[in-house]
Structure 1
């Protein structure tokens, strides 16, 4: 009996020590999650958002792997009223960062440090951008982003992340052997890309790499880094809208016909004329300032927020062409919807009773809408075409998020309470193809 009592005491002490260690890990993880408390802008920064999603998905799962506490996790999540991000959310956040890099040519070195610097020069792999600033991302993050880039055929961006992994001043907690081993894994993945995307160049390079470096790890890392830059710089980017998203308007149409005026399109506006700026004369594109009030914008956000769902394109399908969430609101759902629709009818002179419901969109992390026509390119021949578009902005965006007209070389940045207005069809009901437009990815904000 005495011996049993001693063994029980030892067992309880061992259990208590194990529980104490587990609770300490939980406290450390909680402290990590709480470290950004009060940083309101953090959720608007794409790198911060990516790190948070990684913490709440991957790191939490890794913590569970160290203890038998799956039931505890479910209870904690339920008591907090949350659904932690899943693997798809983690990969989606990575794809969003890559999309921002692709459009705004942000280097891996800058992105890893949270620097959202738009680069008008070709190629993202610019080693000059690496500095001594603290890294917000880890080596495993770099590998995850490179892998996602190669899986979506973004060769130059994936190579840029692989190159960052090999830089001596990045991720000092990793040895050169570990960096080189993982970089080679990434290059093997890139080598599987079609020849047209540079895969053959990488494959040929890998075949000769070890012979030329004689197994010298430091020399191999330097040579791989140099070769990555050569391959990356050879990739061309031809999408016109991406250039306008980065560089701004390229139109030379600065004639005297482009004016600002106080317009009275209806007697309703007699005492408060509409502030109208003509941005393009043919086709006519105008910006209407203060078409909404702060109260209306805030109310529309409040009504739409709980109803936002991933946006679809024609046919009701999900696609990477459009990455956003949206909600449709009818007049009878809230006073703000009815008031805004009535005002749009007065300012445009159009009958809005047959128009689409008011659609509110949120582009979130790296959201975008690639070039498209609102008229669907069929005129009125098949019906269901949109005669005109009024694009309302209910908040400002810190960086990115502009609306671009690719054939006009025009970019318009969001201005809260303003509206961008244009016609999609001519008087003979034919399409105005020069209204082809796109939404630039939101770099910071939503």
Structure 2
């Protein structure tokens, strides 16, 4: 029997516009300015609140909002590069604002507060952003195999620290997972919330009754009936004010007694010992993976993202670094480019220092106002759709937008010796918190996601890396085990098609989740039309 949580009080978040902030950092900086304004307004409410306890809580919240806002605005990019900071920012604008509003003890103050929220509706994180940033944290936790405690105490990377997460912060993640029937992550974070609550002093960040209520059901979902009984009795000892809660938990205890009796009878019949209620066994928490996440390719993808060497490079001793003028191209004679070979067959190259800081800032400035959540092509309908396996924001820049884009395009052509007539525009992508692109091909395969006949298939990919990423964010090739680090100013290049025009199956690649930092890239896809004399076929039909 599985008890369904039907009667718990649910926190309902304030509704803002759909901003999709969680997918990138570029639009989150505005929220920091708004938070500073909120702190000032909340301080002005304090003397107007009649109830002393509520007034003190609002004063404390206003002080915290102001302290965090002032600190974060000193170095906004560094602050938001930390996924825990970004999570807390979204939480303050959603779940925490609900609490703030309820503390205002007059309709007049609540109306003023609602007006303040409405003023910034379009630029503030909304509930979808909050849900998205939680999913990002869970994605990072799974991909990089990070225990909850390392997020809680801010030590999830070697060079980034964040403030300690409260019991309330942990609870919201556990609640989110529970509401999505993800009992594995729910139990991890609810248990962490209990541990954090034990460490909090006089001011506790959340209601223990609510926390234990969720935890009991999460434990039952994973078959931990003894632990559920333990916490259910703890909850009743707290004497909840709501009689409905008391009756429901009492019924849960009766059900648990019956289930435990059945389990013990089975143990006796099998000759196994019966656990003692005062000595709890280890918590069982099994993660159920989808077929995709259990597949060999996805396992390789996550291992590569963690920096593991999953297969030997057969060309390791043949790889070299050198300067190239691309067969004497006039644009490169006086400034040859630095090339690092990463793999052969397919050729995967990393060009160093091929875009300047000034050009990077120009590209960012041109693209930021038009960034939109990235889409993928649905092979069933041919339409562009949002997808959980590609989490980023992107925009397209064309040569006609600015002469800097023309210069960048000419440089790619000079280095690769490819004609840019049929090439796509420069796609600028910002991967924010947990931003990723799971394993995929860039070229069309077997007629799927076909391109116009005036372009033909994507013959090659060029990726400019426009930021240094503190942790994560590698481009990885799952078929050959290559890991490309996102080095600012560098560019990766590879051929998607063989010389005979067929796709190269070894070019399947992915963008790993960004663990810390903000990853900016610019993609340039060159198509096969126009390359007949630039990259001709050989006499070998298989090449």
- Kindly indicate whether the alpha-carbon contact (under 8 Å) linking 2:183 and 2:221 is maintained by their aligned counterparts in 1: no
C-alpha separation in 2, matches of 1:169 and 1:362? 36
Q: Select the residue among 423, 428, 435 that pairs with 2:507.
A: 435
TM-score, structure 1 as length reference: 0.79
Secondary structure of the corresponding residue to residue 354 of structure 1: coil
Structure-1 residue corresponding to 2:494: 422
Structure-2 residue corresponding to 1:269: 332
CA-CA distance at 1:85 after TM superposition:
1.7
C-alpha separation in 1, matches of 2:256 and 2:444? 45
CA-CA distance at 1:74 after TM superposition:
4.2
Shift in CA distance, 441/204, structure 1 to aligned 2, threshold 3 Å: farther
Secondary structure of the corresponding residue to residue 404 of structure 1: strand
CA-CA distance at 1:335 after TM superposition:
2.1
Q: Which has the higher helix share?
A: 1
Q: Select the residue among 33, 36, 44 that pairs with 2:81.
A: 44
Structure-1 residue corresponding to 2:406: 338
Aligned length: 400
Q: Deviations over 1:9-40 (max 9, x none)?
A: xxxxxx95629987765543332222232342
Does residue 112 in structure 1 map to residue 156 in structure 2? no
What is the root-mean-square deviation of aligned Cα atoms in Å? 3.4
Shift in CA distance, 31/82, structure 1 to aligned 2, threshold 3 Å: farther
CA-CA distance at 1:250 after TM superposition:
3.4
- Kindly indicate whether the alpha-carbon contact (under 8 Å) linking 1:378 and 1:431 is maintained by their aligned counterparts in 2: no
Shift in CA distance, 357/170, structure 1 to aligned 2, threshold 3 Å: farther
C-alpha separation in 2, matches of 1:66 and 1:308? 37
Structure-2 residue corresponding to 1:259: 320
TM-score, structure 2 as length reference: 0.66
Does residue 63 in structure 1 map to residue 100 in structure 2? yes
Structure-1 residue corresponding to 2:420: 352
Matches within 5 A, 1:304-323: 304-314=367-377, 315-323=383-391
Shift in CA distance, 163/24, structure 1 to aligned 2, threshold 3 Å: closer
- Kindly indicate whether the alpha-carbon contact (under 8 Å) linking 1:405 and 1:411 is maintained by their aligned counterparts in 2: yes
**In terms of mean alpha carbon deviation, does 68-77 or 406-415 score higher?**
68-77
Structure-2 residue corresponding to 1:295: 358
Shift in CA distance, 251/336, structure 1 to aligned 2, threshold 3 Å: farther
Structure-1 residue corresponding to 2:485: 413
- Kindly indicate whether the alpha-carbon contact (under 8 Å) linking 2:399 and 2:405 is maintained by their aligned counterparts in 1: yes
- Kindly indicate whether the alpha-carbon contact (under 8 Å) linking 1:375 and 1:424 is maintained by their aligned counterparts in 2: yes
Give the gaps of 5 or more residues in structure 1.
1-14, 119-132, 192-202
Structure-1 residue corresponding to 2:247: none
Q: Select the residue among 475, 482, 489 that pairs with 1:403.
A: 475
Shift in CA distance, 303/170, structure 1 to aligned 2, threshold 3 Å: farther
C-alpha separation in 2, matches of 1:300 and 1:109? 38
CA-CA distance at 1:363 after TM superposition:
0.8
- Kindly indicate whether the alpha-carbon contact (under 8 Å) linking 1:250 and 1:410 is maintained by their aligned counterparts in 2: no
**In terms of mean alpha carbon deviation, does 146-155 or 261-270 score higher?**
146-155
Q: Deviations over 1:307-362 (max 9, x none)?
A: 11110001210010101100111111122212111111111111112111110111
C-alpha separation in 2, matches of 1:110 and 1:23? 34
CA-CA distance at 1:102 after TM superposition:
1.1
C-alpha separation in 2, matches of 1:81 and 1:357? 33
